Amino acid sequence: MLDVRRMQVLEAVLAERSITAAARRLGYTPSAVSQQIAALEREAGLPLLERTARGVRPTEAGQLLGACAAAVGARVSEAEALLADLRSGRSGRVSVCYFASAGAALVAPAVAALRRTRPGIHVDLRLTDPADPLPEVREGRADLGLVMRAGGPPSEDGVRFTYLLSDSYRVLLPAEHPLAAHESLALADLVGEPWVGSAWQGPCMDAVLAVCAAAGFRPEFTVRSEDYVTAQAFVAAGLGISVVPGIGLGDRVREGVVVRDLRDAEAVRGVYAAVRNTAPDHPALAAMSDALLRVASA
């Protein structure tokens, strides 16, 4: 088997056309260079250099190995540059799972900011609604997952969570509803009201149910929808009230719908970035996490 380091010594000799000059370039003695060339000739089974009055010149085998050594050196230099970019966070790939409302409020601006500052990082995005993104992270199918929980920070073996923001729930009421006259409401005011569901059964709906359970009741759903836009349409039609998270509502309020704040301390969900504890040092992942934190704190 050919020794790559000896091939690189041959490349230097061919470039300098001299064993002595190559030795100076490499920081070796001429004797050490000659020994490396002799060993490479034994490996190749052919002479690689021809001595001349002005130094050395390559045989056909020497030219072939010299060209291969140059190609190997170029690939090594390329690999070193690529690794340097990965180490510095200038390049890399990170996979992110997220729930829908976090996509618009957090993921989109974070990825846009990352592309401006680290254009070499590629972000693979995957929407997991109505499923929970946490299993994707825990089982290694995603580098980072955005999760929401009501009732305190989440806990999961093998996963670390970074708090991003608190997302307060708000009440959607038909414009003519008697409760619309109040500037703010308590969850207790909503007991006995017909409710419009705003999400499929899953983490988003579980968080709403947890908030209501903390207030001592379970809502009675007369209509169920899969998104906040459709829920607003049902509320505007007078079919019931709905409770939605602030980042899910944004500033998109339908005509015929009134939005009111909830005074209850428990009427909030936390949004967290989840990463596996065993995930290796990953500058691209760290850059994505930082971008999410900057957006969340803005």
Quote the crossing angle between the two packed helices 60-88 and 283-297, to the nearest 10°: 30
Instruction: Report the pLDDT averaged over residues 230-252.
Output: 91
Which 3 state secondary structure label does DSSP give 179?
Answer: helix
> What number of other Cβ atoms are within 10 A of residue 182's Cβ?
15
Query: What local confidence, expressed as pLDDT, does residue 285 receive?
Result: 92
The residue length of the chain stands at 298
Its sign, for the CA torsion 141, 143, 148, 149, is positive
Structure-token pair, residue 39: 């060993």
**For 102-106, 163-167, 247-251, which range has the lowest pLDDT when averaged over its residues?**
247-251
Q: What span, in angstroms and rounded, lies between the C-alpha atoms of 181 and 146?
A: 36
- Output the pTM of the full model: 0.74
Estimate to the nearest angstrom the gap between the alpha carbon of 5 and the chain centroid: 38
pLDDT in tens, 199-212: 877 788 888 898 89
**For 47-56, 86-95, 115-124, 232-241, which range has the lowest pLDDT when averaged over its residues?**
86-95
pLDDT in tens, 118-158: 999 999 999 987 788 899 999 989 999 999 988 788 888 89
- Beta-sheet strands, E only, within the chain: 49-52, 55-58, 91-98, 120-127, 144-150, 159-174, 184-185, 194-197, 220-224, 242-245, 257-262, 268-276
Query: What local confidence, expressed as pLDDT, does residue 248 receive?
Result: 85
Query: What local confidence, expressed as pLDDT, does residue 207 receive?
Result: 87
Q: Which amino acid is at 284?
A: A
Q: How confident is the model at residue 5 (pLDDT cuts 50, 70, 90)?
A: confident
Mean pLDDT across the chain = 90
Considering only CA atoms, which of 150, 155, 139, 144 is closest in space to residue 107? 144
Question: Per-residue pLDDT for 100 more than 90?
Answer: no
Task: Characterise 17 by phi-psi region: left (phi > 0), alpha (psi -120 to 50), beta (else).
Answer: left
Which 3 state secondary structure label does DSSP give 141?
Answer: coil
pLDDT in tens, 60-77: 988 998 888 888 877 877
Query: What local confidence, expressed as pLDDT, does residue 272 receive?
Result: 95
Strands 159-174 and 268-276: what pairing? antiparallel
Query: What local confidence, expressed as pLDDT, does residue 72 receive?
Result: 81
Question: Per-residue pLDDT for 2 more than 90?
Answer: no
Structure-token pair, residue 40: 């490479």
Query: What local confidence, expressed as pLDDT, does residue 78 receive?
Result: 75
